[in-house]
């Protein structure tokens, strides 16, 4: 029974990776996978224990490129990926999956699924990831497949703008406190949190971790307007101001994955648009091109984990749409057009985005695959916003009761 739910979770993970075509075989206990994007590379997934005796010609006739067996051997779950064309086993992965009642059960299965994707395609999947988001002023987490929604805010104060540290063990967010904005860094495993960079009288918001986890960039609103600062988050010291706006606002920093650059929003052209600078604040320049007087306000940039793109949203005819900037060519393309779509956040595979959309009549979180254009709802609840997709989450960060 546990094995059935393991298979069901893995099958959905493979489906949600948007890299395979998953088909149930006659008999109902097997699924077949095919990669539409790689010219006929296909994977099949079977649950039978007789992996060594797999009928390769049969799977080949069905058009499968891979077959995946998931079996139980004592307390170990074994995933075996067969290469149908080569008529042999590509990889066998053994994983200790906790009982299905264990809170770590699903993540362990997701990690197994990611290893299977890695074995088949050479790139890891995004199954073992979570999305943080804000609802009713509180921060929640949810697995990428929509399971296990959980409150992670630890106070009743209004929170905004959760942002992951790149190792997935901590996240930063902003909380209103007596009319000011304080930044906190909270450990995922323990819920323990520390205030960062707060003067008590400023409005600090939109925190973003540097890739090495040492630095937190953020926006600070003062009498002079809003500007971007960095602080050493380890020692809570060494506050540095990166922008001097005077009559314009600078906000919403996001680091490039190499830590060398920061994309951000600036109102220096009149309307907010996407700019970029070196991580020390030098060499500030326009990043996402726009037509002066024509293009609407652009906000909420997030640099992709592979460094090649920056997702953001832009006002188009009075509503917001998600755009992607190609960093190398500095060209933008519009990704969405149905309803209002905003606050995109990258999956670690740099091809999926989670974002807020009201396309179904109310604001909730959706996921789009940039390669296939396939869109699915992550949530079926109204009011979710400001999503932040985690990096790949490794072993459970020692969450002991």
Partner 1 sequence: MKSVSLLLVIGLGVAIGAGACASNPPPQTAPQPNADSAAAAERARQDSIAAAQAEADRRAREEAERVARQREADSIAALSHTAEEVRATLATMIHFDYDKATIRSEDAAILDQKVAILQANANLRIRVGGHCDERGSDEYNLALGNRRAQAAKQYLVSHGIDAGRIETQSWGEEKPLAQGHDEAAWSQNRRDEFEVISGGDNLRRPS
Angle at which helix 105-121 crosses helix 2-16, to 10 degrees, equals 50
Between residue 146 and residue 205, which ones bind partner 1 under the rule CB under 8 A?
158, 160-161, 176, 179-181, 203, 205
Q: Chain centroid to CA 76: how far?
A: 29
- Exactly one of 162, 272, 305, 344 binds partner 1 (CB under 8 A); that residue is 272
Residue 121 to residues 24, 34, 114, 143: CA-CA distances in angstroms? 21, 11, 10, 23
Please report whether residue 47 would count as binding partner 1 according to CB under 8 A.
no
Please report whether residue 299 would count as binding partner 1 according to CB under 8 A.
yes
Please report whether residue 386 would count as binding partner 1 according to CB under 8 A.
yes
Name which of 68 and 335 has its Cβ closer to partner 1.
335
End-to-end CA distance of the chain: 27
- Exactly one of 77, 129, 198, 226 binds partner 1 (CB under 8 A); that residue is 226
Between residue 317 and residue 376, which ones bind partner 1 under the rule CB under 8 A?
318, 320, 342-343
Distance between CA atoms of 95 and 72, rounded to whole angstroms?
10
Please report whether residue 269 would count as binding partner 1 according to CB under 8 A.
no
Distance of closest approach, residue 369 Cβ to partner 1, in angstroms? 24
Name which of 251 and 378 has its Cβ closer to partner 1.
251
Distance of closest approach, residue 391 Cβ to partner 1, in angstroms? 21
Tell me the two tokens of residue 160: 């905004």
Distance of closest approach, residue 122 Cβ to partner 1, in angstroms? 37
Please report whether residue 225 would count as binding partner 1 according to CB under 8 A.
yes
Q: Is the separation of the CB atoms in 202 and 180 below 8 Å?
A: yes
The CA-based diameter of the chain, rounded to the nearest angstrom, is: 73
Name which of 2 and 137 has its Cβ closer to partner 1.
137
Question: Pairing between strand 66-73 and 41-46?
Answer: parallel
Look-up: residue for tokens 């995933």?
Answer: 79
Please report whether residue 268 would count as binding partner 1 according to CB under 8 A.
no
* Helix spans in 86-194 (H): 105-121
Distance of closest approach, residue 195 Cβ to partner 1, in angstroms? 18
Q: Which helix (H) or strand (E) holds 6?
A: helix 2-16
- Exactly one of 252, 304, 336, 390 binds partner 1 (CB under 8 A); that residue is 252
Q: Which residues contact residue 391 at a Cβ distance below 8 angstroms, ignoring those fewer than 6 apart? A: 129, 164, 166, 167, 168, 305, 348
CB neighbours (10 Å) of residue 148? 13
User: What is the contact surface with partner 1 in residues (CB under 8 A)?
Assistant: 137, 158, 160-161, 176, 179-181, 203, 205-206, 219, 221-223, 225-226, 249, 251-252, 265, 267, 271-272, 297, 299-300, 313, 318, 320, 342-343, 385-386
């Amino acid at each position: 029974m546990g094995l059935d739910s393991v298979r069901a979770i893995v099958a959905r993970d493979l489906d949600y990776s948007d890299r395979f075509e998953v088909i149930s075989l006659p008999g109902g206990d097997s699924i077949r996978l095919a990669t539409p994007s790689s010219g006929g590379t296909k994977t099949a997934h079977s649950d039978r224990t007789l992996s060594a005796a797999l009928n390769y010609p049969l799977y080949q006739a069905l058009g499968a490129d891979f077959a995946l067996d998931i079996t139980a051997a004592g307390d170990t779950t074994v995933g075996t990926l067969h290469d149908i064309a080569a008529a042999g086993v590509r990889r066998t992965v053994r994983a200790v999956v906790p009982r299905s009642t264990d809170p770590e059960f699903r993540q362990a299965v997701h990690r197994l699924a990611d290893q299977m994707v890695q074995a088949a395609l050479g790139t890891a999947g995004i199954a073992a990831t979570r999305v943080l988001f804000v609802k009713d002023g509180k921060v929640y987490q949810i697995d990428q497949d929509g399971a296990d929604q959980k409150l992670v805010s630890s106070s009743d104060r209004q929170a905004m703008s959760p942002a992951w540290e790149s190792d997935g063990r901590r996240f930063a967010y902003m909380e209103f406190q007596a009319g000011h904005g304080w930044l906190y860094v909270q450990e995922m495993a323990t819920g323990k949190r520390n205030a960062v960079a707060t003067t008590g009288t400023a409005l600090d918001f939109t925190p973003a971790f540097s890739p090495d986890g040492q630095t937190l960039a953020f926006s600070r609103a003062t009498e002079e307007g809003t500007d971007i600062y960095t602080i050493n988050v380890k020692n809570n010291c060494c506050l540095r101001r990166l922008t001097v706006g005077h009559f314009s606002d600078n906000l919403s920093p996001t680091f490039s994955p190499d830590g060398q650059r920061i994309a951000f929003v600036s109102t220096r052209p009149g309307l907010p648009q996407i700019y970029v600078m070196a991580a020390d604040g030098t060499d500030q320049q326009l990043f996402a091109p726009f037509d002066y007087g024509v293009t609407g306000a652009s906000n909420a940039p997030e640099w992709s984990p592979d460094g090649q793109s920056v997702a953001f949203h832009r006002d188009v005819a009075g509503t917001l749409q998600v755009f992607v900037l190609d960093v190398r060519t500095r060209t933008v393309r519009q990704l969405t057009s149905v309803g209002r779509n905003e606050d995109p956040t990258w999956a670690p595979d740099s091809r999926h985005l989670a974002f807020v959309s009201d396309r179904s009549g109310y604001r909730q979180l959706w996921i789009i695959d940039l390669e296939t254009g396939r869109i699915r709802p992550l949530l079926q609840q109204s009011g979710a916003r400001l999503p932040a997709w985690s990096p790949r989450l490794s072993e459970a960060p020692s969450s002991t009761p």
